Structure 1
Amino acid sequence: MKCISPHYEISEQTVALIPANHMNYKTIAIEMDRTIYITKTPYEIIERGCLNNFSSFDGRREAIKHLTGFKRKVPIPISVYRNIFVFPTHSFKDWDCCWVFYHHVESIVEERLDSNQSVIMFKNGMEVTVDVPRSELLKQLERTNLIVSIIRKNS
């Protein structure tokens, strides 16, 4: 039986937040060693994660846009101190947007049957298939890496 929770707190164990179109939950939170079903949307969880780390989602997003010039699909530093960085697979307003936690990504491979799909392979052995070309996900990884570098340089 699935454990459904009304709240979720992002931590160093969070691997990905996947949207779910289910009547009892809206997000599947993948952690290093478990999966949790949450009644909040992935965006609501990301927003709360930013607030729990002394900033707003909009504030973090605007700061990254200012520092990098990125306009769309902006990676978000949830917690600089805890080394939690996340990037979206789509526009954050898009229902299909998954949030992928940068430090847990092992590799990204193109789905053999459809080049518009990719498989994100995580360090814990889990895999998530998303409707995004591999090249776009690699770009998101590069952008997040740039943000991590900028923040480390300025720390």
Structure 2
Amino acid sequence: MKEIFNDYAITEHTMILSPAAHVDYQTIVLEHNRKLFVKKTPIQLIKKACLEGGSSYDGRRSAMIYLTSCRRKVPIPIDPNKDIFAFPTHSPSQYSCEWIFYNHIRLIRSSINSMSNNPVCMITFKNGQQLTTESSYYTIEKQMYRTAMCMLRLSIHSYNVYA
């Protein structure tokens, strides 16, 4: 029997938050060596983690729009001091939106869903775990690029503020 948690704190070990259409939980959390089931939605967990990291979700989103000119599927610096950055696979307002944590990705590759014949993306994490997401390779690649840009812009901005 799986243990279901009321809440979850995003950490450096969080690799992905996936929505779950289940009566008892709303999110499946994948970490390095465990899978957790949480009653809160992925966006609720993201918003709470942003606050714990020192700013609101809306504030972090606005900053990334300003720094990168990216307006859709904006990557979020959950806690830049701990190097925790996540990107959405879809609009965060869509139920199917997964949140993937950038620093855990080793490799992505294109694949075809054998059931639907639709393109999907296979993500290999640094710990060797693999995950197939219904998002296309192109979407994941673009989101990784956007997240890298966010990380770069934040590091440049921090350097200029303190230089």
Query: Is the TM value for this pair above 0.5?
Result: yes
1:36-85 Cα offsets, whole Å, 9 max, x none, are 10000000000100011111111100110011111100000000100000
Q: Distance in 1 between matches of 2:54 and 2:11?
A: 15
- The alignment yields a C-alpha RMSD, in angstroms, of 1.1
In terms of fraction of residues, the more helix-rich structure is 2
1:103-145 Cα offsets, whole Å, 9 max, x none, are 0011111123445211111111222211111011101001101
Corresponding residue for residue 141 of structure 2 = 138
- Percent identical among aligned pairs is 40
Q: Distance in 2 between matches of 1:69 and 1:102?
A: 19
Corresponding residue for residue 161 of structure 2 = none
**TM-score, normalised on structure 2?**
0.91
User: How much does 1:98 deviate?
Assistant: 0.3
Which 4+ stretches in 1 moved above 2 angstroms?
112-116
1:4-55 Cα offsets, whole Å, 9 max, x none, are 1000000000000011101111100101111110000000000100011111
Q: Distance in 2 between matches of 1:29 and 1:53?
A: 19
| More deviation, 41-50/126-135 | 126-135
- What count of residue pairs does the alignment treat as equivalent? 155
**TM-score, normalised on structure 1?**
0.96
User: Which amino acid in 2 is paired with 1:138?
Assistant: E
Is 1:85–2:85 an aligned residue pair? yes
Q: Distance in 1 between matches of 2:54 and 2:32?
A: 25
Equivalent residue runs for 1:1-155 within 5 Å: 1-113=1-113, 114-155=117-158
